[in-house]
């Protein structure tokens, strides 16, 4: 474990949180987009909500086994974005016969994005980002103090 290990761990979390905030912002920006992509039949589909999943950087069994047996000097190496998947929940049906994308019954398929859920995700991710910035600054402060001791 190096002296910069804590900073590298926080940096990976900052990168993952920034990416998640970008995806949430994209979801909010497309909350009313009824023509996002063409399906197999050549018809437009509404925007589908994107979900980000993260995982530990060293997510193999051997690394966890070595840590549990206290043979590892590396307590962890941060997180990484595992995947970005589309939410498969059904689209919302809204009655609006004057909308250009309405069907023969006057219903429009709207994206499966709930602005309230997205704002909660954004707030949670923002708080996590702030916590990692605080931990990064604490690590930096400790390193600076240790350099001052050496004078």
Predicted TM-score of the model (pTM): 0.80
pLDDT at 57: 78
List, in sequence order, every residue forming a beta bridge with 81; answer none if it has no partner: 54
- Give pLDDT tens digits for 85-118: 999 999 999 999 999 888 899 999 999 999 999 9
pLDDT at 6: 81
Residue 25 pLDDT exceeds 60: yes
DSSP per residue, 35-88 = -SEE-TTS-EEPPPPEEEEEEESS-SHHHHHHHHTT--S-----EEEEEEEE--
Where b means 16+ CB within 10 Å and e means fewer, 14-41 reads bebbebbbebbeebeebbebbeeeeeee
């Amino acid at each position: 474990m190096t002296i910069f290990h804590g900073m590298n761990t926080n940096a990976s979390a900052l990168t993952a949180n920034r990416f998640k905030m970008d995806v949430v912002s994209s979801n909010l920006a497309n909350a009313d987009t009824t023509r996002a992509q063409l399906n197999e039949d050549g018809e437009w589909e509404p925007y589908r909500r994107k979900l980000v999943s993260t995982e530990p950087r060293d997510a193999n069994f051997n690394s966890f086994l070595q840590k549990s047996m206290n043979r590892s000097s590396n307590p962890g190496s941060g997180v990484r974005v595992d995947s970005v998947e589309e939410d498969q929940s059904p689209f919302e049906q809204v009655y609006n016969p004057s909308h250009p994308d309405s069907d023969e019954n006057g219903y429009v398929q709207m994206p499966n994005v709930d602005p309230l859920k997205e704002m909660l995700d954004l707030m949670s991710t923002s708080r996590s980002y702030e916590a990692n910035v605080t931990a990064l600054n604490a690590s930096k402060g400790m390193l600076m103090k240790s350099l001052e001791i050496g004078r």
